Amino acid sequence: MTKKESLLLSALFLIYSCCFAQSFTIGIQGQAKSTWLINTAVLGASVAQEAKPSFAWGGGITANLYFKQQIETYLGMGLELNFGNFVQRYSGRVSNSPTLATYNSKINLLYLDIPLYAKLILRYGTFIEAGMQFSMLAGASYKSTGGLETTSNVSAKFTPFYYAPLVGIGADFAVTDDIYIIAGVRLLYGISDLSGVDGQGISLKGNPDYSGAKTHAAFASLNIGAYYRFDYGEYGKSGKGRRR
């Protein structure tokens, strides 16, 4: 499925969902992420480059539609517009260095992320979610220190768009009848090949050392935010859509 087809199907699904929704929420959230660029050829490069635990941030606007209530259970869908970074750090030995010099490096990617997902809220505000995230590259930089001192813009080395399935769990807590605090954990693994550069800033695309190896984005995030809930239609008149 192409990028345009994916976005078109998502837009049609969103319009269809709006016609049948009984409740609507809008809010803001922040994200703390553990991020990894998964490429088997890079990760298997021994002492030349070793991927290190990396952390990033994000945040944005959230919106959810809920269609039907069944005994303290709510079925709906969510759409978000988030902006944040995606980091991968490396350390290793500089290739072909006669002095066995070592280095530390960091790849920093900036993304506009659009998650679209189905969401099921269970008893006591716990929820599960599953869907797809569409991400557009806003910038990419590479910086290394130690025996390999360099800083460069590597945006052209990375694929400008990728999509990835996501799953998540969490809970929301009512502050009032209309205002809620929400916290959850989300996991994501990219399907698309990001291409990009390795730990020493060398381009992966067209490089025979990395022939056939793909780069996938993966992260686990802690999401914390707040939202306001609007009930209308049947639930708005009766108050049945409100949780206390």
Q: How many CA atoms lie within 13 A of 143 on its CB side?
A: 6
What is the widest separation between alpha-carbon atoms in the chain? 77
Q: What pTM did the predictor assign? A: 0.84
Full set of structural domains in the chain with CATH: 3-238 (2.40.160.20)
Any idea which residue has 């490429």 for tokens? 39
Q: How far apart are CA 94 and CA 103, in angstroms?
A: 7
Most confident of 4-18, 30-44, 174-188: 174-188
Which residues on adjacent β-strands are paired with residue 219? 35, 188
Q: For 84-138, what is each residue's pLDDT tens digit?
A: 999 999 998 887 777 788 999 999 999 999 999 999 988 778 999 999 999 999 9
For residue 74, what are its two tokens? 């709510």
Of 238 and 230, the one with more pLDDT? 230
Q: For 24-36, what is each residue's pLDDT tens digit?
A: 899 999 999 999 9
Mean pLDDT taken over the chain:
85
